[in-house]
Amino acid sequence: MPNRLETYFARLERTRVWKSIFRSGTGSSTLHNALAIQQNLFLHLFSTKVRKRMVSLSATWYLGTLTLGTFFILVGTGVVLMLYYHPSVPQAYSDVKDLRFVVSSGLFLRNLHRWSAHAMVFLAFAHMFRVFYRGAYRAPREFNWVVGVILLLVTLLLSYTGYLLPWDQLAFWAITVGTNISSAVPLVGDKIRFLLLGGHQVNANALLRFYVLHTVILPLSAVLFLAVHFWRIRKDGGLYVRQSEPGNAENPAQPASEEKKQS
């Protein structure tokens, strides 16, 4: 059976349609393997070759990848939740209740969305602790740390804006308190709160604005910064492993001038 499957795939790879989609060609040479990564829109952000140590569990505990995984779950469940949820004052709360009690599998999808959201915040923090205590934020990866901080902020904002959408007492008071915090900004604070809520009270405009932020603006900025984040991993010399620490002779990629700057 596996043999037949293999021949089937081999034949598939020779078809004109396959070749038109995957242009790296057939074969298992190093070049073909490299081309398979390089000529794929999604994979070309990553290195064509990595050290084995970089992808071992002990190097990163896969915390960044797991954070990305929760993000994918959140996008998937979030999009289907949108099909039943109306961001309007009379409907929002009962829609969420319907998702729990009426819609088939609604309970599962909503809870998956909720728990993944908690997990994503936890994993993002764990990822940052891991990077911090390993010293992986140091040159030449400083900018990627900054991108990571932006991604943390986007994650927290996603978490916060999603909090209002069930439109219950918990949501209402969380947003009341949170937007009051923003009004503590000197001079423009009240204006920021007004723009955020689209009014002076947590009301219909606020619900709609938080919905748009939660489902469009923040996820798009997350995707944008995620792309930069992954691309920078490659540009900064791959995932951090201990041997690439500055001052270590084993790592020829580290420019000598960097060492001088740091001392």
Partner 1 sequence: MNSTPHPGLDSHEVELDRRKFFTQLGLGSLGVAAAGTLAFYYRYLSPNVLFEPSPIVNVGRTENFPTGSVTLDVDSAIYLVHIAEGFFSLSAICTHLGCMTAWKPELNMIACPCHGSRFNREGKKLAGPAPKPLPWLKLWLSDDGELMVDRSTTIPELQFLRV
Residues 194 and 199: their CA atoms lie apart, in Å, by 5
Cα angle 33, 34, 36; round to 5:
65
Query: Is 201 a residue that touches partner 1 (CB under 8 A)?
Result: yes
User: Quick one: 127 or 209, whose CB is closer to partner 1?
Assistant: 209
For the bound state, the minimum distance from the C-beta of residue 78 to partner 1, rounded and expressed in Å, comes to 24
Q: Indicate the Cα dihedral angle 218, 107, 170, 190, nearest 10°.
A: 20
x/- mask, partner 1, residues 160-179, rule CB under 8 A, reads -------------x--xx--
**Is residue 152 within the footprint of partner 1 (CB under 8 A)?**
no
Binding mask of the shown chain, residues 55 to 94, with x at each position contacting partner 1 by CB under 8 A: ----------------------------------------
SS3 139: coil
Instruction: State which of residues 12, 102, 149, 195 lies at the interface with partner 1 (CB under 8 A).
Output: 195
Among residues 199 and 246, whose Cβ is nearest to partner 1? 199
Nearer to partner 1 among residue 10 and residue 170 (C-beta): 170
CA distance 210 to 207: 5
Amino acid making up residue 118 = H
- Residue 231 is inside which H or E element, if any? helix 218-235
Looking at residue 165, its amino acid is L
251 binds partner 1 (CB under 8 A): no
- Is residue 132 close enough to count as binding partner 1 by CB under 8 A? no
Among 194, 225, 230, 231, which residue interacts with partner 1 (rule: CB under 8 A)? 194
199 lines the binding site for partner 1 (CB under 8 A): yes
Q: How many residues does this entry show for the chain?
A: 263
Report in angstroms how near the CB of residue 205 gets to partner 1 at its nearest.
6
Query: What residues have CB less than 8 Å from 19, skipping those under 6 apart?
Result: 13, 25
Is residue 141 within 8 A of residue 240, CB to CB? The reply is yes
Chain contacts with partner 1 (rule: CB under 8 A):
173, 176-177, 180, 194-195, 198-201, 203-205
